[in-house]
C-alpha cells in the first residue's frame, strides 16, 4: 500500500507517494533526491542520517516517513545561505579540518548545530559527551570537537 | 621564490561539496531503469548447500531475476583471484582454494554470498530473498586461528586438509637460535592481535549498467582503486575485454583498506546487468558489512627477544598464526608475511631475526589489509617485547630504546628492508618533552590518592610505505605492478587538470596534490583541478593503500609536471628566439636567463594549442604529459607515541588522559591534513587496544559482534585531544622527500596504549581489546595475588 | 522492514479500539526501539498505530508532591523540564542520559516503559521512586508493572497515558554503560522518600529489580558505606560478551554506592 507524505523541506513544500514502510531517510534520499543525508548503519547508532525535524535533531533512519507528515524538516542541503555562504558550523568544520571522507559530515554538522542550540557555550568535555550519537571513522573527533567549539562562539556573536 | 603552497595548511578544496550535501557517493548514483539487488547469505558458518529453490521467490512482487552459483558456473564466471603468491618454507606455492562469486556446493562463513535477488525496489528484493529456499546441511565450523590446525578440526577446503594456506619463514633461523642460547636475558610474550572490522562509515555499494549499443559496462563502486578492480574483474573473473568496462569510484566514504579488494558483489552486479539488460544497484546495510567486508588483523603470536646484560637486543624470534578467514581476499596472503615480518626490526639494530608465519583457513569472513596492514601487528610484537624487557631488566623504557636505536643510514635490516633515513632519537626526545614524562610520577601519585591507577607506555614504530618497487614486490610474489600513474593536462588558457591513479576517500588529494602542482608550476591552486576515481578518464592507477599516495602517486604527478616544464622551455625558447639551454622556469614564467625577457605559463600554453609561431617541424603541438613512477625503495615513516592512562579499578574503566605522537613523515605538504590523518589513525589504534573486538562464537561460528550495538566503535568521548608533533628527515629517493602518513597512528597506538595499561595495572599482559570487564578482572587478579 | 498498515490514532480510545481488534498491531510512540527492531526484521507488526499526534498524551505537570509526565513526552523534554529538574533532578538527569541526543528527541517515556527493555533506564526510576503508571484503563503501581524481559502488566488494548512520580527527599541514578551500545550494563536508581529508601537496578537482569538488603541498610543509615559491602547474587543476572554475571553483580554494588554519594550532594 502506498501513502502520500507531505511536509516542508528546507522551506519548501514537498510530497511523494511512498510505501507505508518507507523510512524518512529513504523518503528524503530517494523520493526527494536530497542525497546529502546518509545512511551508515541499521541500528540508529552512527548518526549519518541526522536531520532537523521541527527544530530538533533526529535520526531520519529510525523513523517512518509518515511520522514526519506535516513536519518542517531541514537537511544538510538547507543549512547554507541561498548565495552559497556556509552556515557558521559548516564554515568551522572547513576551517578546522573537521571532515575527511565527508560521509558522516552531514549528520555530524546537523547534530552539532542542535548541540550548540541546546548548549550555547559547551566545554570540550560536554561536546565529546554530546556527540555520542554520531560516529566518525576518519577524524578521530579531535578537529570536529575544535570546530564545534569554534562555531559555538561565532553562533553566539 | 618562497614556496607558497607546500608546507601550508591550505583548507581543503573538497570540503564545500561534502559540507553542503553535494558529495556524490555510490549510493547517491541513480541510473535510469535501475533495479535493486539483495544477496542471500549463508546463516551458517559451514554448511553443504544441497539445493536452492527459487521458484517461489521468482513469483514475488517486483522480482526481475535471481541468480545462484550454478548460473555463474554455467556462464563460466571464475572465482575471485588472490593478488599475491606466497611460497612456503619448502618452496611450495600457497594453497589457493577457489573463491566463487556465489557459493558453489558449500557455504564457508556466516555471510557467504549464496544468491542474488534482483527486483524493482530494494524492499521487494529483500522480501523475495526470504522466499529463496536454500537447503543447508550444517557442518561443524572452526573460527579461531589457534584451533584451525588441531587434529580433527573441521576442514574448510579439501585442498588444504590441515587448513593451512602456507607456512612461511623469513630470516636466519640458525643464527637466531644460536644468539638465544647465549643471551643474558630472554623476554617472551604470547598474545592475540585482535580481529577488527574496518567499518568505513559508508557501507560498500555498487551500481552496474550494461549498454547493448557498444557492448560495454559501467560500474560505480565504493572502491579505493578502480583500475585494479577493473583489471581483476575483466582479466581474471568475467573474461571481458578490459576496454569495454569502465569503473568509477566516485566520492568514497572511507576505506581503511576494506575497499581495496575486488568483492563478489561487484562482479555479480556487473555480470547481472547484462543478463537483465538493466542497471543493478546494491548497497550493503551495516549488518551486511559486518559479515561480508574483509576484516583485519587476527594473529596468534609467540614472540621472544634475546638481550645482553646491558639491554642490547641480540635476536628476535617470532611465531605467528594468521587467520585468513574462509577464502583468500585480494591481498590477504601478503599482509601477515611481506608487510609484517619485514618490519620486525622496528627502529632497532637487532642483528638477527627469524619469523615464521602460518596462515590458516577458518569459517570466518576473509581477512585482508586494514589500516596499517601487517605493520601494526609487527609494531605490537616489537614494542610490547621491548617495553616488557625494560621492565624485567629494570631499565627505563626510553633508555632501552635509545640503546638499541639505529643511528646510521642507510641501514640494512636482517629482515630484507633497507631503511634510507630516519632520526629516532629526535622523535623520542620530542615526545618525552610534549608528554611531560618528567612530571609523570607526580601525576601517578596524585591519581593514587584518588584511588586511580596511572600508567605510561611508549611505542616507537616504523612502517614501510610508498608501496612498492614493482620488481622487488614481484620477486616476493606480487602478481601486479605497484607503480602509479599521473597525467597533467594543460589547457590552452594555462588552466590545468591533473589525473591521478591515487584515489582519495578522505585523504584530501584534491588539495595536497593541487599544492604540489601549484608550487611546481608557479600558478594559483584555483587554476588546478585534481581528477581521480574513473577508469574512463584516468590513464591507469594502482590505487590508494599503504600510505603510498603522495610518495608514489604524488611523484608520478611531479614527473609529468617536469615533462610539461621541459616542453614549455622548448616552446618558450622558440617564442623568445633564445637557446633552450638559456630558458629557466620560475615563478610561473619562462625566462631567458640573465635578461628580463619572459613568457608567462599561460602564454606558452596558448602557443602550444594555437601553434602559429611554433616549431612544428621539431615539436608536437599541445601540452599534455603522462608519467608512470615506480618507486626505488619503500619509504620509512617512523615516530614515537607516548600514552598515559588512568584506570578506575572499581569498574575497570580506562581513560586516556594524554596521548602524544611525534612522527617523522619526511617533508610535509599540508600539515593540517597530515595532523588529521594522525588523529584518525590514533583513534583506530586506540579502538583496537581498548574497544574493538570482532568476536565469532566458537561453537556456532556466528558473528557475535555484528552491529554497533556489540562492536564498539570509538566515539568522541573515548579518545582525548591529541598532542602531535613532527620531525622531518626527508625521504632520500623521491623528489618531494615525502614518506606518507595515513597509517602511522593505527600502527603505533595499540602498543603505546597497552604498554601504558599494563604499567598502570602492574600486569604482564592483558588481551586486546582491553574492555572494562577485562581490566576489572585483571585488577581482581592482581588484588588476589597481592593478598596471597 | 516487512510491510504493514499504518494509521495515525486521533485519540487514545481510537488506538485502543484498533489494538483490541488486531493482536498483531503495535503502538508507535517515539519508535526508537520499535522501528529499529522492524528494520532488522525482528518485529513484524501487521499494523502500526502512531500515537504521535495525540496532543493530550504529552506534557509535564508538577508540584511539590508529584510530577506527572504524559506518555508521549520525549526524553529531551523531561531532561530539560524546569519542573522535573526542580522536583526530581535525578529523573531529569536520567532522561538526559538515555540513548543519544537524537534518540532523546524522539523517544518517549511511555514507549520505553511499555517496551521494558532489560537495559532501559526509565524502569529503574519508576521502580525506585515508586511511581504510578496510568493507563486508559487503570492505575498500576510500579511494583506491579514490570513482569519480565520485555513483559509488563499491560493487557491487550491497554495504553499508558501518563506516569506519576512522587517527589523524593533525595535521589540519584548511576549508570555503567555498555561501551558499544551505550545501554545500561548496570543502572542503579536510589531514592530516599523520607519515609523509606528504594533501590532499583536495571540492565543487570532480564527485568528491573529492587535490592532489599541495600534498601534496609540505607534506611538505617543513608551513606555510601552502607551498601559498599552488599552484593547481589550472580544467579539470574544477565551474562554476555560485555559483562558476565559476576562483573554485573560487582557493578551493582559500585553503582549503588556512587548513586548514594550523588544523592547526598
pLDDT, tens only, C79-130: 999 999 999 999 999 999 999 999 999 999 999 999 999 999 999 999 999 9
What is the Cα–Cα distance from C144 to C205, expressed in whole angstroms?
17
Closest CA to B335 of B363, B300, B302, B377: B377
A129 alpha carbon, distance to own chain's centre: 18
Q: Which of B123, B651, B712 sits opposite C180 (nearest CB)?
A: B712
Using 50 as the pLDDT threshold, list the residues of chain B that sit under it: 1-2
Give the cell for residue B705: 559482534
Q: Residue B711: closest CA among chain C residues belongs to which residue?
A: C180
CB < 8 Å to C40, chain A: 42-43
What residues contact residue A152 under an 8 Å CB cut-off, 6+ apart?
A116, A119, A120, A121, A122
- Return the bridge partners of B134, or none: B52
What is the Cα–Cα distance from B207 to B218, expressed in whole angstroms?
8
- Return the bridge partners of B186, or none: B306
What is the Cα–Cα distance from B596 to B640, expressed in whole angstroms?
50
B42 shares its domain with B102: yes
Strands C25-28 and B352-361: unpaired
Instruction: Check if the beta carbon of residue B481 is closer than 8 Å to that of residue B533.
Output: no
What is the Cα–Cα distance from B90 to C26, expressed in whole angstroms?
64
Q: How far is C12 from chain B (nearest CA, A)?
A: 32
What order do you get walking across the sheet with B47-53 strand by strand?
B106-107, B47-53, B133-138
What is the Cα–Cα distance from B270 to B218, expressed in whole angstroms?
8
Q: How many Cβ pairs closer than 8 A exist between chain A and B?
A: 189
CB < 8 Å to B687, chain A: none
Asked if A62 lies within 8 A of C1 by C-beta distance, the reply is: no
Burial C232-248 (b: 16+ CB within 10 A, else e): beeeebbeeebbbbbbb
Other CB atoms within 10 A of residue B330 CB? 25
Closest CA to B390 of B766, B788, B644, B751: B751
Burial B252-290 (b: 16+ CB within 10 A, else e): bbbbbbbbbbbbbbbbbbbbbbbeeebbbbbbbbbbbbb
Phi, psi of B573, rounded to the nearest 5 degrees: -60, -45
Give the cell for residue B461: 614504530
Q: Which of B285, B697, B772 to mutate to test the interface with C (most CBs of C within 10 A)?
A: B772
What is the Cα–Cα distance from C7 to C19, expressed in whole angstroms?
11
| B399 prior amide bond cis, ω within 30 | no
Instruction: Measure Cα distances from B78 to B71, B162, B237, C37 in Å.
Output: 12, 25, 5, 38
Asked if C28 lies within 8 A of A57 by C-beta distance, the reply is: no
Closest CA to A134 of A60, A41, A56, A47: A47
B127 shares its domain with B248: yes
CB < 8 Å to C250, chain B: 776
Average pLDDT along chain A: 97
Closest CA to B246 of B224, B264, B263, B270: B270
Q: Which of B123, B709, B773 sits opposite C181 (nearest CB)?
A: B709
Class (C level, CATH) for C169-265: alpha beta
Number of domains into which chain B is organized = 3
Stretch (H or E) spanning C184: strand C184-192
B281 alpha carbon, distance to own chain's centre: 26
The ipTM of this complex is: 0.98
CB < 8 Å to C254, chain B: 650-651
B275 shares its domain with B307: no
* Residue A51 contacts C, CB cutoff 8 Å: no
Domain ranges within chain A, ordered by starting residue: 2-78, 88-156
Strands B352-361 and B313-325: parallel
B29 shares its domain with B132: yes
Closest CA to B422 of B349, B483, B351, B484: B349
The listed CATH number (3.40.50.410, 3.20.20.80, 3.40.190.10, 3.10.20.30) that belongs to domain A2-78: 3.10.20.30
Q: Which of B259, B716, B753 to mutate to test the interface with A (most CBs of A within 10 A)?
A: B716
* Residue B127 contacts C, CB cutoff 8 Å: yes
Closest CA to A56 of A132, A131, A115: A115
Instruction: Check if the beta carbon of residue B141 is closer than 8 Å to that of residue B156.
Output: no
DSSP state of B719: S
Asked if B11 lies within 8 A of A95 by C-beta distance, the reply is: yes
What is the Cα–Cα distance from B643 to B658, expressed in whole angstroms?
6
B318 shares its domain with B403: yes
What is the Cα–Cα distance from B523 to B528, expressed in whole angstroms?
8
What is the Cα–Cα distance from B470 to B744, expressed in whole angstroms?
23
What is the Cα–Cα distance from B430 to B160, expressed in whole angstroms?
50
DSSP state of B577: T
With both helix axes pointing from N to C terminus, report the angle between A88-95 and A105-118 in degrees, rounded to the nearest 10.
120
| Residue B82 DSSP SS3 | coil
B625 shares its domain with B637: no
Instruction: Check if the beta carbon of residue C225 is closer than 8 Å to that of residue C260.
Output: no
Q: Residue A98: closest CA among chain B residues belongs to which residue?
A: B676
Give residue for cell 572490522: B197
- pLDDT of the residue at B3: 57
Instruction: Check if the beta carbon of residue B695 is closer than 8 Å to that of residue B709.
Output: no
Give the cell for residue B231: 583489471
What is the Cα–Cα distance from B217 to B234, expressed in whole angstroms?
11
B226 shares its domain with B79: yes
Q: Residue C251: closest CA among chain B residues belongs to which residue?
A: B651
Given a cut of 90, whether residue A53 has pLDDT beyond it is yes
What residue numbers bound the domain in which B540 lies? 483-629
- pLDDT of the residue at A121: 97
Looking at chain C, the domain(s) classified CATH 3.30.390.50 span 169-265
What is the Cα–Cα distance from C121 to C119, expressed in whole angstroms?
7
Asked if C39 lies within 8 A of A23 by C-beta distance, the reply is: yes
Asked if A104 lies within 8 A of B19 by C-beta distance, the reply is: no
CATH of residue B752's domain is 3.30.365.10
What is the Cα–Cα distance from B434 to B345, expressed in whole angstroms?
26
C5-50: CATH topology: 3.30.43
- pLDDT of the residue at B2: 46
- pLDDT of the residue at B782: 83
Among the residues of chain A, which ranges form H helices? 24-26, 88-95, 105-118, 124-130, 142-156
Residue B280 located in a structural domain:
yes
Phi, psi of C184, rounded to the nearest 5 degrees: -75, 125
End-to-end CA gap in chain B? 72
B446 shares its domain with B558: no
Instruction: Check if the beta carbon of residue C76 is closer than 8 Å to that of residue A27.
Output: no
Residue B474 located in a structural domain:
no
The CA-based angle C1-C5-C6, given to 5 degrees, is 95
Instruction: Check if the beta carbon of residue B354 is closer than 8 Å to that of residue B173.
Output: yes
Share of chain A above pLDDT 90, in %: 98
B494 shares its domain with B535: yes
B765: exposed, middle or buried (Cβ count in 10 Å: 0-12, 13-18, 19+)? middle
Closest CA to B719 of B678, B658, B675, B671: B658
- pLDDT of the residue at C16: 94
B336 shares its domain with B454: yes
Closest CA to B247 of B100, A91, B263: B263
**What pTM did the predictor assign?**
0.98
CATH of domain A88-156: 1.10.150.120
Give the cell for residue B93: 606455492
Asked if C2 lies within 8 A of B650 by C-beta distance, the reply is: no
Asked if C176 lies within 8 A of B771 by C-beta distance, the reply is: no
Intrachain domains A2-78 and A88-156 with the same fold? no
Instruction: Check if the beta carbon of residue B746 is closer than 8 Å to that of residue B376.
Output: yes
What is the Cα–Cα distance from C82 to C91, expressed in whole angstroms?
12
Give the cell for residue C59: 506534557
CB < 8 Å to B21, chain A: 34-37, 75-77, 106
With both helix axes pointing from N to C terminus, report the angle between B772-787 and B744-761 in degrees, rounded to the nearest 10.
30
Domain end (from B609, B629, B649): B629
B98 shares its domain with B239: yes
Looking at chain C, the domain(s) classified CATH 3.30.43.10 span 5-50
What residues contact residue B780 under an 8 Å CB cut-off, 6+ apart?
none
Amino acid at each position: 500500500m502506498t501513502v502520500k507524505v507531505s511536509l516542508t523541506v528546507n522551506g519548501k513544500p514537498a510530497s511523494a507517494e511512498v510505501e507505508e514502510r518507507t523510512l524518512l531517510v529513504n523518503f528524503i534520499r530517494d523520493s526527494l533526491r536530497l542525497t546529502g543525508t546518509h545512511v551508515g548503519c541499521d541500528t540508529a547508532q552512527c548518526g549519518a542520517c541526522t536531520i532537523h525535524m521541527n527544530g530538533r535533531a533526529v535520526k531520519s533512519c529510525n523513523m517512518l516517513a509518515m511520522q514526519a507528515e506535516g513536519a518542517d524538516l531541514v537537511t544538510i542541503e538547507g543549512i547554507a545561505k541561498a548565495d552559497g555562504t556556509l552556515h557558521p558550523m559548516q564554515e568551522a568544520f572547513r576551517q578546522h579540518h573537521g571532515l575527511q571522507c565527508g560521509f558522516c559530515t552531514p549528520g555530524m554538522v546537523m547534530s552539532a548545530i542542535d548541540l550548540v542550540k541546546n548548549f550555547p557555550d559547551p566545554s570540550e568535555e560536554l561536546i565529546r559527551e554530546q556527540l555520542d550519537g554520531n560516529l566518525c571513522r576518519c577524524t578521530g573527533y579531535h578537529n570536529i570537537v575544535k570546530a564545534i567549539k569554534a562555531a559555538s562562539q561565532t553562533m553566539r556573536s | 621564490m618562497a614556496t607558497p603552497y607546500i608546507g601550508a595548511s591550505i583548507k581543503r578544496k573538497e570540503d564545500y561539496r561534502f559540507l553542503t550535501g553535494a558529495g556524490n557517493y555510490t549510493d547517491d548514483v541513480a541510473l535510469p531503469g535501475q533495479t535493486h539487488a539483495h544477496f542471500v547469505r549463508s546463516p551458517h558458518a559451514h554448511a553443504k548447500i544441497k539445493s536452492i529453490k527459487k521458484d517461489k521467490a521468482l513469483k514475488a512482487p517486483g522480482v526481475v531475476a535471481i541468480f545462484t552459483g550454478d548460473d555463474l558456473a554455467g556462464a563460466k564466471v571464475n572465482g575471485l583471484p588472490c593478488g599475491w603468491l606466497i611460497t612456503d618454507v619448502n618452496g611450495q606455492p600457497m594453497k589457493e582454494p577457489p573463491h566463487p562469486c556465489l557459493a558453489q556446493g558449500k557455504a564457508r562463513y556466516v555471510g557467504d554470498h549464496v544468491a542474488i535477488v534482483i527486483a524493482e525496489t530494494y524492499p521487494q528484493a529483500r522480501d523475495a530473498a526470504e522466499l529463496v529456499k536454500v537447503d543447508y546441511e550444517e557442518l561443524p565450523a572452526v573460527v579461531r586461528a589457534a584451533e584451525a590446525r588441531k587434529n580433527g578440526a573441521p576442514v574448510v577446503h579439501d585442498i588444504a586438509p590441515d587448513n593451512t594456506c602456507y607456512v612461511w619463514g623469513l630470516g636466519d633461523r640458525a643464527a637466531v637460535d644460536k644468539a638465544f642460547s647465549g643471551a643474558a636475558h630472554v623476554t617472551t610474550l604470547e598474545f592475540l592481535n585482535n580481529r577488527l572490522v574496518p567499518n568505513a562509515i559508508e557501507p560498500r555499494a555498487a551500481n552496474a549498467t550494461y549498454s547493448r549499443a557498444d557492448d560495454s559496462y559501467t560500474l560505480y563502486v565504493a572502491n579505493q582503486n578502480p583500475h585494479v578492480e577493473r583489471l581483476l574483474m575483466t582479466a581474471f573473473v568475467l573474461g571481458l575485454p578490459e576496454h569495454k568496462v569502465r569503473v568509477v569510484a566516485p566520492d568514497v566514504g572511507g576505506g581503511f583498506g576494506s575497499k581495496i579488494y575486488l568483492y563478489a558483489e561487484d562482479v555479480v552486479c556487473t555480470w547481472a546487468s547484462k543478463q537483465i539488460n538493466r542497471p543493478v544497484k546494491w548497497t550493503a546495510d551495516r549488518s551486511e558489512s559486518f559479515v561480508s567486508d574483509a576484516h583485519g588483523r587476527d594473529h596468534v603470536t609467540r614472540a621472544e627477544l634475546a638481550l645482553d646484560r646491558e639491554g642490547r637486543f641480540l635476536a628476535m624470534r617470532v611465531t605467528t598464526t594468521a587467520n585468513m578467514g574462509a577464502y583468500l581476499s585480494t591481498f590477504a596472503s601478503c599482509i601477515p608475511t611481506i608487510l609484517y615480518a619485514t618490519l620486525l626490526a622496528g627502529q632497532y639494530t637487532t642483528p638477527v631475526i627469524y619469523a615464521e608465519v602460518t596462515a590458516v583457513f577458518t569459517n570466518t569472513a576473509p581477512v585482508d589489509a586494514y589500516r596499517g596492514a601487517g605493520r601494526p601487528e609487527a609494531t605490537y610484537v616489537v614494542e610490547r617485547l621491548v617495553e616488557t624487557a625494560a621492565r624485567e631488566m629494570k631499565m627505563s623504557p626510553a633508555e632501552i630504546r635509545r640503546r638499541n636505536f639505529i643511528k646510521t643510514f642507510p641501514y640494512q635490516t636482517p629482515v630484507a628492508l633497507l631503511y634510507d633515513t630516519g632520526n629516532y632519537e629526535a622523535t623520542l626526545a620530542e615526545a618525552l618533552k610534549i608528554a611531560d614524562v618528567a612530571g609523570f610520577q607526580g601525576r601517578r601519585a596524585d591519581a593514587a590518592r584518588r584511588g586511580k591507577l596511572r600508567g605510561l607506555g611508549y611505542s616507537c614504530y616504523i612502517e614501510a610505505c610508498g608501496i612498492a618497487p614493482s620488481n622487488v614486490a614481484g620477486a616476493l610474489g606480487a602478481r601486479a605492478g605497484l607503480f602509479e600513474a599521473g597525467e597533467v593536462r594543460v589547457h590552452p588558457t594555462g588552466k590545468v587538470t591533473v589525473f591521478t591513479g591515487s584515489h582519495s576517500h578522505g585523504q584530501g588529494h584534491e588539495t595536497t596534490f593541487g599544492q604540489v602542482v601549484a608550487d611546481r608550476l608557479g600558478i594559483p591552486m584555483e587554476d588546478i583541478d585534481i581528477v581521480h576515481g574513473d577508469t574512463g578518464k584516468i590513464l591507469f592507477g594502482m590505487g590508494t593503500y599503504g600510505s603510498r599516495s603522495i610518495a608514489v602517486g604524488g611523484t608520478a604527478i611531479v614527473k609529468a609536471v617536469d615533462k610539461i616544464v621541459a616542453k614549455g622551455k622548448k616552446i618558450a625558447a622558440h617564442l623568445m628566439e633564445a637557446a633552450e639551454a638559456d630558458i629557466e622556469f620560475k615563478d610561473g614564467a619562462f625566462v631567458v636567463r640573465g635578461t628580463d625577457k619572459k613568457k608567462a605559463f599561460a602564454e606558452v600554453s596558448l602557443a602550444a594549442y594555437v601553434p602559429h609561431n611554433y616549431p612544428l617541424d621539431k615539436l608536437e603541438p599541445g601540452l599534455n604529459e603522462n608519467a608512470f613512477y615506480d618507486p626505488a625503495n619503500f619509504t620509512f615513516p617512523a615516530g614515537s607515541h607516548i600514552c598515559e592512562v588512568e584506570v578506575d579499578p572499581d569498574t575497570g574503566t580506562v581513560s586516556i588522559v594524554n596521548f602524544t605522537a611525534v612522527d617523522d613523515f619526511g617533508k610535509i605538504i599540508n600539515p593540517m591534513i597530515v595532523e588529521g590523518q594522525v588523529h584518525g589513525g590514533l583513534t583506530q589504534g586506540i579502538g583496537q587496544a581498548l574497544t574493538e573486538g570482532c568476536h565469532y562464537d566458537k561453537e556456532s561460528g556466528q558473528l557475535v559482534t555484528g552491529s554497533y550495538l556489540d562492536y564498539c566503535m570509538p566515539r568522541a568521548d573515548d579518545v582525548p585531544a591529541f598532542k602531535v608533533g613532527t620531525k622531518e628527515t626527508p625521504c632520500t629517493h623521491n623528489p618531494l622527500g615525502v614518506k606518507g602518513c595515513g597509517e602511522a597512528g593505527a600502527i603505533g597506538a595499540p602498543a603505546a596504549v597497552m604498554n601504558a595499561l599494563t604499567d598502570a595495572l602492574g600486569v604482564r599482559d592483558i588481551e586486546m581489546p582491553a574492555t572494562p570487564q577485562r581490566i576489572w578482572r585483571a585488577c581482581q587478579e592482581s588484588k588476589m595475588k597481592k593478598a596471597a | 522492514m516487512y510491510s504493514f498498515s499504518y494509521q495515525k490514532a486521533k485519540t487514545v480510545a481510537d488506538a485502543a479500539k484498533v489494538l483490541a481488534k488486531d493482536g498483531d498491531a503495535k503502538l508507535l510512540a517515539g519508535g526508537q526501539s520499535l522501528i529499529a527492531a522492524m528494520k532488522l526484521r525482528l518485529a513484524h507488526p501487521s499494523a502500526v498505530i502512531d500515537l504521535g499526534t495525540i496532543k493530550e498524551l504529552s506534557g509535564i505537570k508538577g508540584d511539590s508532591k508529584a510530577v506527572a509526565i504524559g506518555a508521549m513526552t520525549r526524553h529531551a523534554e523531561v531532561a530539560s523540564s524546569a519542573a522535573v529538574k526542580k522536583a526530581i533532578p535525578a529523573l531529569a538527569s536520567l532522561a538526559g542520559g538515555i540513548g543519544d541526543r537524537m534518540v532523546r528527541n524522539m523517544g518517549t517515556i511511555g514507549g520505553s516503559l511499555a517496551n521494558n527493555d532489560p537495559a532501559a533506564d526509565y524502569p529503574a526510576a519508576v521502580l525506585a521512586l515508586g511511581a504510578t503508571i496510568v493507563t486508559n484503563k487503570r492505575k498500576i503501581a510500579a511494583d506491579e508493572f514490570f513482569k519480565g524481559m520485555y513483559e509488563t502488566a499491560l493487557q491487550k488494548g491497554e495504553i499508558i497515558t501518563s506516569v506519576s512520580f512522587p517527589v523524593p527527599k533525595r535521589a540519584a541514578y548511576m549508570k555503567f554503560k555498555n561501551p558499544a551500545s551505550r545501554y545500561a550494563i548496570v543502572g542503579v536508581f536510589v531514592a530516599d522518600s523520607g519515609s523509606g529508601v528504594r533501590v532499583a537496578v536495571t540492565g543487570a537482569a532480564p527485568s528491573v529489580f529492587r535490592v532489599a538488603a541495600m534498601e534496609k541498610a540505607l534506611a538505617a543509615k543513608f551513606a555510601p558505606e552502607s551498601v559498599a559491602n552488599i552484593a547481589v547474587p550472580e544467579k539470574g543476572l544477565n551474562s554476555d560478551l560485555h559483562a558476565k554475571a559476576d562483573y554485573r553483580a560487582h557493578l551493582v554494588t559500585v553503582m549503588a554506592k556512587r548513586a548514594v554519594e550523588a544523592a547526598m550532594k
